[in-house]
Amino acid sequence: MNANVDEKILAKATKWLEGAYDEDTKKRVKYLINNDTKELTESFYRDLEFGTGGLRGIMGVGTNRMNVYTVGMATQGLANYLSKTFADEEIRVAVSHDCRNHSREFAERVADIFASNGFKVFLFDSLRPTPELSFAIRELKCHSGVMVTASHNPKEYNGYKAYWSDGSQVVAPHDKNIIEEVGKITDITQIRTGANSANITILDEKFDEKYLNMIKTLSLSPEAVAAHSDMKIVYTPIHGCGYRLVPQALRKFGFTNISTVAEQMVIDGNFPTVESPNPEERTTMRMAIEQGIREGAEIVMATDPDSDRIGIAVPDGNGNYVLLNGNQTCVLLTYYICRRWNDLGRLDGHQFVVKTIVTSEMVAEVAHSFGVKIFDCLTGFKYIAGIIRREEPRGEKYIGGGEESFGYLAQDFVRDKDGVSACALAAEAAAWAKQNGTTLYELIKELYVKYGFYKEALVSIVRKGQEGQEEIRRMMKEWRTTPPRVIAGSSVSMIKDYLSGESCDLTTGKVTPIDTEKSNVLQFITADKTIVSVRPSGTEPKIKYYFGVREPLEAVDKFDEINAELDNKIERIKKDLKLS
C-alpha cells in the first residue's frame, strides 16, 4: 500500500473496498491505492456537491467522481428532501439524459431510486434536450426532476442537474438542504432500489410533439418564413440531443431546406469529430461552417450535447462565416423579439427581459428602447427563472433573456436555456431580416450604430484538481485585497463585490448593498464604462475573466475601424491584469 496517501483519503477509499460495491469498482479502487496516489487523491479528497449546475464531475470510481454510487447517494438525498417537503402529496418527478457515456445507466438508476421511494416517475425513452426536461416538469405537474448531463464539458465528464417544481434548477434554500440530506447518506445500503418499477411511466415521441407545439407558438414572423421557406440552414447537434428535435422544430416553423452534418448526427458520448463539444469554440463548429460554405447556407447553427446552448455562424458577404458570440446572439434575439412584439402591438409596458451580470449591457439598451423592463441576475439560468418566478405574480410578462455563455430562452414554458427554440427563432430572425433586405450580420452592425458598439471577450484560466481549487481561491483573495486602480487607461470608479453584497463608488466612497443572492463574483467598472468581471466557474475548474468595452459607431462603414480599436482595448485590459 502506498505510504504517501493521506490517511483521511485512504480511509474513504478503503470503505469502498469493504462496502456493497461491485467487484469491478473494488478492483479499480485497490489499483489506485497501490499504484496511483494522485488519481486516488483526486477521486476521494471530497464529495461531489451541488453547484450552479447541480452535480458534475469526471466519471470514475470514488466520492469525487460520477458513478452509480455517487449518483445514487445524491438521488436518495434528493428523494429524502422531497419526501419531507411534500409529505402529504403523491410526489411526481421527471428524468431525462443526454448522449454522454453512462448517461442512460445513470438516468435509469435515478428513476429506479425515485420509484423505490414511492414516487411517480416519468422517464424519457432515450436522450432528450435539457429544456424538454424542464418543460416536462411543468407540463406533468412534477415536484422535481433530474437531467443527467454535463452540458458542454469534455467527454470525461458527466453529471446531473436537479430541478424544482417550476422547471428551474434548484436554488437556495433547496440546494443547501439537499446537500444536507445527501450528507446523511453515509452508506450505499441506505439507497432504496429495486422496488415499485410500475411507478415508472415512459415518455416517447408523443410527448415531444407537445413540446414542439409549444415552441411553434413562439413564431413571430410566419409570413417571412413562408416567403423564404427554402432558405438554406445547416445544423449540427455535435453528437447530442438536438439531432431529432431541432430539425423538427425548424420544420414546424415552416423551413424546408435543412441540411445536417451527417457525421455529427451520430449519437456518441466520445464526441469523435470535435476536441470539445462546445459551440462557443469555432473549431467545434468547423464541420458545420465548412458545409455551410459548400452549400451556401444563410445560417449555420449548432447545439451542445444536451441542447441547451446554441452556436450561430452567419455569412459576412465576403465568403466567410462569422461565429456570433453569446452576447451577440442574446442581443439579436432580444431585438428581434422586442421589435416583433412592438410591430404586432403586443407591448403594453408589462413585458421584461433578463440578462446575467456578465452579459452585454447592450441587451439593456435594446430593451429600454422598446419600453421593456430589464433585470440583471447572477450567472446561471436558475437565477433568470427566479426573476420570472418573482415577477409573474406582479402581472409582468417575461418575453426573453439570456447569458453570454450561448444560452437563450424565449417565453416561460421552459425555465432553463433552450437551444431548440433558440434555433427556430434564430432561423426565423434570419428569414425576417432577409424579408427586410438585410442579413443577421448586417443587422448586428446596424444595431451597433443605433445603440453603440458593445464588444465583449472572455479569458478562462484552467486550474484542475484540489491544488487548482486552492489556487483559484488565492487569486480571488488577491483581487479583493489589491484590486486594480486603472484599467486600459481609465480609472476604476466602482467595485462590486457580490460575495460581500456591496458596491463601492470609489469617487464618493459611498457603499450600497447589491440586491442579489451572494456569489463569489467581482466587478471593476471604470470611468469610461469598461466592465471587468471575475468569477470562478461553478461547473468547471476555471477562473473566468469577462471584459466589456464600448465605443460609438457613427456608420456601418466604420465597423472595421472601431472593431479594431475595441480589440486593442481588450488586449490592453488583458495586459494590465497580467492575463497575456
Tell whether the model's pLDDT for residue 398 goes beyond 60. Answer: yes
**DSSP codes, 498-535:** TTTTEEEETTT--EEE--S---S-EEEEETT--EEEEE
Residue where one domain finishes, among candidates 177, 203, 229: 203
Instruction: Verify that 190 and 247 share a domain, yes or no.
Output: no
Strand, helix or coil for residue 151 = coil
Residue type, 483: P
Which helix or strand (DSSP H or E) is residue 169 part of? Answer: none
Instruction: Verify that 307 and 392 share a domain, yes or no.
Output: yes
Q: Is residue 51 part of a domain?
A: yes
Q: Is residue 12 part of a domain?
A: no
Tell whether the model's pLDDT for residue 53 goes beyond 90. Answer: no
Domain hosting 100: range is 46-203
Instruction: Verify that 385 and 458 share a domain, yes or no.
Output: no
Q: What is the mean pLDDT of residues 514-518?
A: 91
Tell whether the model's pLDDT for residue 348 goes beyond 70. Answer: yes
Instruction: Verify that 403 and 385 share a domain, yes or no.
Output: yes
Q: Which residues contact residue 222 at a Cβ distance below 8 angstroms, ignoring those fewer than 6 apart?
A: 253, 254
Q: What is the pLDDT of residue 149?
A: 96
pLDDT in tens, 411-450: 999 999 999 999 999 999 999 999 999 999 999 999 999 9
Domain count, the chain: 3
Q: Is residue 516 part of a domain?
A: yes
Q: Is residue 28 part of a domain?
A: no
Q: What is the mean pLDDT of residues 129-151?
A: 97
Give the pLDDT band (50/70/90) at residue 307.
very high
Instruction: Verify that 312 and 421 share a domain, yes or no.
Output: yes
Of residues 286 and 186, which shows the higher confidence score?
286
Instruction: Verify that 363 and 494 share a domain, yes or no.
Output: no
Residue where one domain finishes, among candidates 203, 228, 244: 203
Instruction: Verify that 418 and 273 share a domain, yes or no.
Output: yes
Q: What is the pLDDT of residue 3?
A: 56
Dihedral (Cα; 110, 111, 117, 119), 10-degree rounding: 130
Instruction: Verify that 492 and 546 share a domain, yes or no.
Output: yes
Which of 168-182, 269-283, 527-541 has the largest mean confidence? 269-283
Q: What is the CATH number of the domain that holds 468?
A: 3.30.310
Active site residues: 151
Q: Is residue 320 part of a domain?
A: yes
Q: What is the pLDDT of residue 50?
A: 67
Q: Is residue 394 part of a domain?
A: yes
DSSP 199: G
**DSSP codes, 15-61:** HHHHSS--HHHHHHHHHHHHH-HHHHHHHHSS----BTTBEEEEBSS
Q: In this predicted structure, which of 5-14, 190-199, 389-398 has the lowest mean pLDDT?
A: 5-14
Tell whether the model's pLDDT for residue 236 goes beyond 60. Answer: yes
- What are the C-alpha distances in Å from 39 to residues 153, 169, 538? 20, 31, 22
Tell whether the model's pLDDT for residue 4 goes beyond 80. Answer: no
pLDDT in tens, 111-132: 999 999 999 999 999 999 999 9
Residue 528 region by backbone torsions, left for phi larger than 0, else alpha for psi between -120 and 50, else beta: alpha
Q: Is residue 6 part of a domain?
A: no
Residue where one domain finishes, among candidates 433, 451, 469: 451
Residue with cell 466589456: 548
Instruction: Verify that 363 and 323 share a domain, yes or no.
Output: yes
DSSP 170: P
Q: 303-316: string of b/e by CB count within 10 Å (b at 16+)?
A: bbbbbbbbbbbbbe
Instruction: Verify that 257 and 171 share a domain, yes or no.
Output: no
Write down the mean pLDDT value for the chain.
95
Q: Is residue 30 part of a domain?
A: no
Q: What is the mean pLDDT of residues 461-473?
A: 91
Instruction: Verify that 469 and 440 share a domain, yes or no.
Output: no
Q: What is the pLDDT of residue 199?
A: 98
Tell whether the model's pLDDT for residue 354 goes beyond 60. Answer: yes
Q: What is the pLDDT of residue 54?
A: 72
Q: What is the CATH number of the domain that holds 359?
A: 3.40.120.10
Instruction: Verify that 351 and 478 share a domain, yes or no.
Output: no
